[in-house]
Amino acid sequence: MGVFMRILTVLYILASVECYKFENTLGHIKPKASPDVQSVAVQQLIQRILHQKALKFSVNVDPQFLVDNKEAFKVFKDRKGIINIVGTSGVAAATGFHHYLKYFCNAHISWEVSQLELPEELPAANITISFNDRFRYYQNTCTTSYSFVWWDWQRWEKHIDWMALNSYNFVLAFNGQEAIWERVYKKLNFSQKDIDEHFTGPAFLSWLRMGNMRGWGGPLSSAWHERSIWLQKKILERMRSLGMIPILPAFAGHLPRAIKRIYPDVNVTKMDIWNNFNDTYCCPYFLDPTEPLFKVIGKMFLEEQIKEFGTDHVYNCDSFNEVDPPTTALNYLSNVGKSIYGAMTESDPDAVWIMQGWLFVHSFFFWTPNRVKALLTSVPNGKMIILDLQSEEFPQFDRLQQYFGQPYIWCMLHDFGGTLGMFGSASIVNENVIKARNQENSTMIGTGLTPEGINQNYVIYDLMSESAWRKEPSDLQQWFRNYTIRRYGKVNEDIIRAWQVLKDSVYNFRGLDRMRGKYSITWTPSLDINIWTWYNYSDVFDAWDIFVQNAQELQDSPAFSHDLVDLTRQALQINGDIYYKKIIAAFKAKDYERFYVESRIFKNIFDDLETILSTDKAFLLGPWIESAKKCANNSKERDLFEFNARNQITLWGPNGEIINYANKQWSGIVAKYYKPRWDLFIAAMNASLAKDIPFNEKKVKANMFREVEEPFTFDRSIFPIEPTGNPVQAAKEIHRKWGVHYRKVHPKELEKFVGGNNRREPLVSLIKK
Ligand SMILES: *[C@@H]1O[C@H](CO)[C@@H](O)[C@H](O)[C@H]1NC(C)=O
Ligand SMILES: *[C@@H]1O[C@H](CO)[C@@H](O)[C@H](O)[C@H]1NC(C)=O
Ligand SMILES: *[C@@H]1O[C@H](CO)[C@@H](O)[C@H](O)[C@H]1NC(C)=O
Ligand SMILES: *[C@@H]1O[C@H](CO)[C@@H](O)[C@H](O)[C@H]1NC(C)=O
Ligand SMILES: *[C@@H]1O[C@H](CO)[C@@H](O)[C@H](O)[C@H]1NC(C)=O
Ligand SMILES: *[C@@H]1O[C@H](CO)[C@@H](O)[C@H](O)[C@H]1NC(C)=O
Ligand SMILES: *[C@@H]1O[C@H](CO)[C@@H](O)[C@H](O)[C@H]1NC(C)=O
Ligand SMILES: *[C@@H]1O[C@H](CO)[C@@H](O)[C@H](O)[C@H]1NC(C)=O
Ligand SMILES: *[C@@H]1O[C@H](CO)[C@@H](O)[C@H](O)[C@H]1NC(C)=O
């Protein structure tokens, strides 16, 4: 670099000092691809989305195009009718393109469905928008396992496009790391057997990586490693060409058990048991970060990884996710921080450490402010980034005093385990991001999405993503109106009203209860499932009525059809909870007649649920299993991967260690798993009532495990990957049956109605068999 260029660079860096916080420590974290490469990448992205219409768009990536010293995009239509997009990076330009689609063309792109009916004559525009923060982060360390695990390149390509369109420039890239580890382990003289008993199967890698478990669902084959490396390289290349910063993993301290044989004198501790996994599958060893060997292995890993994938200098490392450090001594915690960061800088002097702040929520009592301070301030200020992982419900930045000066990112976690129930915290997301940024001495440097699983409740992710640029909270009434119009490509005032109802009910959660997809139909049958919700069931039924009434008019919209299925699913899920309570009440009252009637109705829910879900591709079990099988290299592996896929969404562990956690309301699993479970349970309740013998729940559950749950994971029957039936027809029929109930009844008052004869008759008459 010439002297002149150097001066220019210094001036450039100085000039940007007051724009974003922490420029002195994070200024080097920026796109590596040239502006030309980024422009071409965005032009190709537009081509993938709009095909020949893409010719009407022109993209120019210009890193100097700052607005108030901040990254920005500009969209305007020129005299020749071309839509010009200027952005400070590829991601900025892609966001500008998406903004134009959303706010000028009323188009919509979501995970499952899109609405891209653009006007023949592209509307005029002339807007410039700057980004609030430099970083928009995406992914939870669990998303890889719950959502992405079986994806091929095609699916990844589409999703990387989605990331760019929604402004995400700071994203995890986690494929292929076990392949790198295998090389490192071999250099350290671990045998193949040592490695095989360590690696989990693909569906459980997230928890291997965080040291929670080992071996379950494994081992991994060399074909899997090759595929992962190949995929990772394609992903990285695409992300970088769009101007994203991919975040790679670093060594967190977790090692195969054999470390103790190879280094008998080194201080390692067995990790604590996590979620009752037994010794075969739990507790890898944890190499104390203060041991000299920590740096040696950390360096070996990073060097091997950089050799294969290059680096953008940001590394994720979570040493104590859901497992506490062995001691509370402040100087120990401080040494841990120093060692982890030291191992990174040993091979990359420009390293920045990014950590999920989940431990501060999960182990709230361990991580007192003093201890957090000891850990965080051991790393040079501004060289560590904390993901405030569930800011919409359990923000920690206040309790932990802006992370004692370290930068953090405000993240919406929203979903656990990829479960499907409707919920979200729209008003909190809308307001609190901005409040947090404007706090005195705020160290917030970005916004993020950290869902454990995607493909549900898209609306809330669309809203949160806009916090990248919104300076003021949006008018939610108007925002939901706009969303509805974009999504369905039509102005239908009834449907707009239905979405307003959803906005004020399912999408306005403000409580502190933990949302974990606990609904009676998908939970393990039991006499005491704790059903709760924060909204009035009647709100969902009101919205459902409107959807069904307007179905004819909107049936050509794939997004509407998707949402009609989703709302019908939600209404059935609620009916499940309602009838669950009735069954239990009847059982406890030993009212055989009522038990018989209510349980018959309850069982009917599963058939209708199966019917409606089978009409939409997004709600099928088949694609999940078939995509798993496609990743396999041979029949034995195909079998193992299918087992991985089936086990994760049901038993989650050999003995139901985290049973139901990642449950899915999908066609296939409803009929072959959830329904048989309840059939068995209800039959046992019935027998107990009929014979007046005590009900042994433990024994029933053991039967259920043997007869339904475990067999489902070993079963190899094939499920459709394409939908069947007509969603509108199915929704209408189901609505006729289930839509008449519980107007304006708060769930808390439900008990009052249990047993009462409140409009049950019309329903029962429809359930013939
Ligand atoms: C866009 O708006 C800016 C000021 O708001 C104006 O200077 C510029 O000429 C406009 N450009 C076009 C192409 O209309
Ligand atoms: C691995 O084994 C080789 C050959 O026995 C030995 O030379 C080397 O030092 C060992 N490496 C480690 C890290 O123990
Ligand atoms: C299986 O893996 C081997 C070696 O990694 C590879 O040569 C072969 O092409 C793979 N076969 C399939 C069907 O993927
Ligand atoms: C090993 O590490 C633990 C936790 O850091 C510490 O308490 C213990 O004293 C260490 N043991 C040895 C032998 O260094
Ligand atoms: C752990 O559970 C698995 C599956 O149930 C079993 O095969 C294994 O023997 C158990 N291991 C231990 C140490 O109990
Ligand atoms: C912000 O920082 C200043 C300077 O360190 C300090 O005096 C002030 O109390 C801080 N404000 C808050 C709300 O922490
Ligand atoms: C809704 O869309 C209109 C028209 O594009 C726009 O002017 C308005 O700002 C949007 N409102 C919100 C809250 O997004
Ligand atoms: C539920 O409905 C009742 C009665 O209409 C109303 O008072 C209450 O505010 C509603 N609760 C919620 C959370 O919407
Ligand atoms: C309930 O148990 C009785 C007596 O064993 C049996 O006749 C009846 O078919 C059972 N009903 C159901 C729904 O299982």
Which numbered atom of ligand 5 lies nearest the CA of 278?
1
The pLDDT, as a whole number, for residue 321 is 85
Token pair of 580, please? 């669950």
Residue 730 to residues 234, 260, 430, 607, 609, Cα–Cα distance (Å)? 41, 59, 35, 12, 10
Which numbered atom of ligand 6 lies nearest the CA of 441?
1
CA of 478 from ligand 7 middle (Å) equals: 7
Within a domain: 329:
yes
Question: Residue with the nearest Cα to atom 5 of ligand 5?
Answer: 654
33 & 175 share domain = no
Dihedral in degrees, nearest 10, Cα atoms 291, 293, 294, 296: 150
Q: What is the 3-state secondary structure (H, E, C) of 40-91?
A: HHHHHHHHHHHHHHHHHEEEEECCCCCECCECEEEEEECCCCCEEEEECCHH
Contact, 163 vs 171, CB < 8 A?
yes
347 & 416 share domain = yes
Which numbered atom of ligand 8 lies nearest the CA of 505?
14
Residue 334 to residues 236, 298, 327, 338, Cα–Cα distance (Å)? 33, 18, 12, 6
Within a domain: 10:
no
Residue 654: asked if its preceding bond is cis (omega within 30°), the reply is no
Chain centroid to Cα 158, Å, comes to 16
Q: What is the rounded distance in angstroms from the CA atom of residue 507 to the CA atom of residue 420? A: 13
CA of 536 from ligand 8 middle (Å) equals: 6
Task: Give the burial class of 721: count Cβ atoms within 10 A of its Cβ; 0-12 exposed, 13-18 middle, 19 or more buried.
Answer: middle
121 & 192 share domain = no
Contact, 183 vs 228, CB < 8 A?
no
Residue 605 to residues 568, 583, 669, Cα–Cα distance (Å)? 11, 13, 14
We report the CATH number of the domain holding residue 636 as 1.20.120.670
Report H helices in 398-475.
401-404, 426-438, 458-465
The reply to whether ligand 6 has any atom less than 6 angstroms from the CB of 441 is yes
Within a domain: 463:
yes
586 & 646 share domain = yes
Q: What is the rounded distance in angstroms from the CA atom of residue 167 to the CA atom of residue 154? A: 20
The reply to whether ligand 7 has any atom less than 6 angstroms from the CB of 474 is yes
Token pair of 228, please? 């992962």
Q: How confident is the model at residue 182 (pLDDT cuts 50, 70, 90)?
A: very high
Q: Which of 586, 473, 488 is nearest to 546 (CA)?
A: 488
Residues, the chain = 769
| Residue of 513, 532, 533, 746 with the most ligand 8 atoms within 8 Å of its CB, for mutation | 746
**Domain end call among 473, 489, 523:** 473
Q: How many CA atoms lie within 13 A of 50 on its CB side?
A: 26
- In the numeric block, the tokens 């403000």 are attached to 510
**Averaged pLDDT, 312-321:** 94
**Domain end call among 112, 130, 148:** 130
436 & 455 share domain = yes
- The DSSP letter of residue 466 is G
Q: Which of 40, 76, 103 is nearest to 483 (CA)?
A: 103
Contact, 269 vs 324, CB < 8 A?
no
The reply to whether ligand 1 has any atom less than 6 angstroms from the CB of 82 is no
Contact, 594 vs 689, CB < 8 A?
no
What is the pTM assigned to this prediction? Answer: 0.94
CA of 127 from ligand 1 middle (Å) equals: 8
Within a domain: 533:
yes
Q: What is the rounded distance in angstroms from the CA atom of residue 535 to the CA atom of residue 650? A: 27
Contact, 378 vs 401, CB < 8 A?
no
Q: Quick check: 199 pLDDT over 50?
A: yes
Q: How many CA atoms lie within 13 A of 388 on its CB side?
A: 29
Q: How confident is the model at residue 6 (pLDDT cuts 50, 70, 90)?
A: low
Q: What is the rounded distance in angstroms from the CA atom of residue 750 to the CA atom of residue 769? A: 27
204 & 300 share domain = yes
Which numbered atom of ligand 7 lies nearest the CA of 474?
13
**Which three-class secondary structure state does DSSP give residue 245?**
strand
Contact, 624 vs 649, CB < 8 A?
yes
Within a domain: 490:
no
The pLDDT, as a whole number, for residue 762 is 36
726-744 burial: b if 16+ Cβ within 10 Å, else e: ebbebbbbbbebbbbbbee
The reply to whether ligand 1 has any atom less than 6 angstroms from the CB of 269 is no
Within a domain: 478:
no
Q: What is the rounded distance in angstroms from the CA atom of residue 619 to the CA atom of residue 669? A: 10
CA of 392 from ligand 8 middle (Å) equals: 23
79-88, 324-333, 379-388, range with the lowest pLDDT: 324-333
The pLDDT, as a whole number, for residue 737 is 85
Percentage of the chain modeled with pLDDT above 70: 94
pLDDT digits (tens, 9 = 90+) for 15-61: 444 579 999 999 999 999 999 999 999 999 999 999 999 999 999 99
Q: Which of 83, 98, 217 is nearest to 167 (CA)?
A: 98
Q: Quick check: 754 pLDDT over 60?
A: no
Q: What is the rounded distance in angstroms from the CA atom of residue 360 to the CA atom of residue 389? A: 9
Q: What is the rounded distance in angstroms from the CA atom of residue 413 to the CA atom of residue 318? A: 17
Q: In this structure, are strands 285-287 and 254-255 parallel, antiparallel, or unpaired?
A: antiparallel
The pLDDT, as a whole number, for residue 19 is 74
pLDDT digits (tens, 9 = 90+) for 212-252: 999 999 999 999 999 999 999 999 999 999 999 999 999 99
Contact, 82 vs 58, CB < 8 A?
yes
CA of 236 from ligand 3 middle (Å) equals: 23
Token pair of 627, please? 């995509």
Structural domain for 45, as ranges = 25-130
Q: How confident is the model at residue 746 (pLDDT cuts 50, 70, 90)?
A: very low
Token pair of 645, please? 């896929």
Name residues contacting ligand 8 (CB within 6 A): 505, 535-536, 744, 746
Within a domain: 544:
yes
**Domain end call among 78, 107, 130:** 130
Radius of gyration of the chain (CA): 27
pLDDT digits (tens, 9 = 90+) for 402-452: 999 999 999 999 999 999 999 999 999 999 999 999 999 999 999 999 999
Quick one: which ligand is closest to 77's CA? 1
Task: Give the burial class of 291: count Cβ atoms within 10 A of its Cβ; 0-12 exposed, 13-18 middle, 19 or more buried.
Answer: middle
Q: What is the rounded distance in angstroms from the CA atom of residue 497 to the CA atom of residue 439? A: 35
- In the numeric block, the tokens 């479960």 are attached to 419
The reply to whether ligand 2 has any atom less than 6 angstroms from the CB of 300 is no
Percentage of the chain modeled with pLDDT above 90: 89
Number of domains in the chain: 3
Contact, 97 vs 57, CB < 8 A?
yes
We report the CATH number of the domain holding residue 160 as 3.20.20.80
Non-local CB neighbours of 259 within 8 Å, separated by 6+ positions: 190, 266, 268, 285, 287
Q: Quick check: 276 pLDDT over 70?
A: yes
Q: What spatial distance separates the first Cα and last Cα of the chain, rounded to whole Å? A: 81
Q: Quick check: 205 pLDDT over 90?
A: yes
Question: Residue with the nearest Cα to atom 10 of ligand 6?
Answer: 441
36-66 burial: b if 16+ Cβ within 10 Å, else e: ebbbbbbbbbbeebbeeebebbbbbbbbebe
Taking CB atoms within 8 Å and a gap of at least 24, the contacts of 214-217 are: 214/256, 214/257, 214/281, 214/282, 214/283, 214/284, 215/280, 215/281, 216/277, 216/281, 216/653, 216/654, 217/640, 217/643, 217/644, 217/647
Contact, 32 vs 140, CB < 8 A?
no
114 & 153 share domain = no
Question: Residue with the nearest Cα to atom 7 of ligand 7?
Answer: 103
Contact, 73 vs 39, CB < 8 A?
no
| Residue of 189, 255, 262, 304 with the most ligand 2 atoms within 8 Å of its CB, for mutation | 189
Q: Quick check: 282 pLDDT over 70?
A: yes
**Which three-class secondary structure state does DSSP give residue 582?**
helix
Within a domain: 196:
yes
The pLDDT, as a whole number, for residue 537 is 87
Which numbered atom of ligand 8 lies nearest the CA of 504?
14
Non-local CB neighbours of 320 within 8 Å, separated by 6+ positions: 359, 363
Token pair of 343, please? 């191992």
690 & 674 share domain = yes
CA of 128 from ligand 1 middle (Å) equals: 10
The pLDDT, as a whole number, for residue 736 is 87
121 & 144 share domain = no
The kind and range of the H/E element at 334 are helix 330-347
- In the numeric block, the tokens 């349970």 are attached to 681
122 & 140 share domain = no
CA of 440 from ligand 6 middle (Å) equals: 7
We report the CATH number of the domain holding residue 32 as 3.30.379.10
Q: What is the rounded distance in angstroms from the CA atom of residue 206 to the CA atom of residue 177? A: 11
The kind and range of the H/E element at 446 are strand 444-449
CA of 106 from ligand 7 middle (Å) equals: 10
377 & 234 share domain = yes
CA of 673 from ligand 9 middle (Å) equals: 21
The reply to whether ligand 2 has any atom less than 6 angstroms from the CB of 189 is yes
**Which three-class secondary structure state does DSSP give residue 444?**
strand
Name residues contacting ligand 5 (CB within 6 A): 278-280, 654-655
385-389, 593-597, 691-695, range with the lowest pLDDT: 593-597
The kind and range of the H/E element at 388 are strand 384-388
637 & 713 share domain = yes
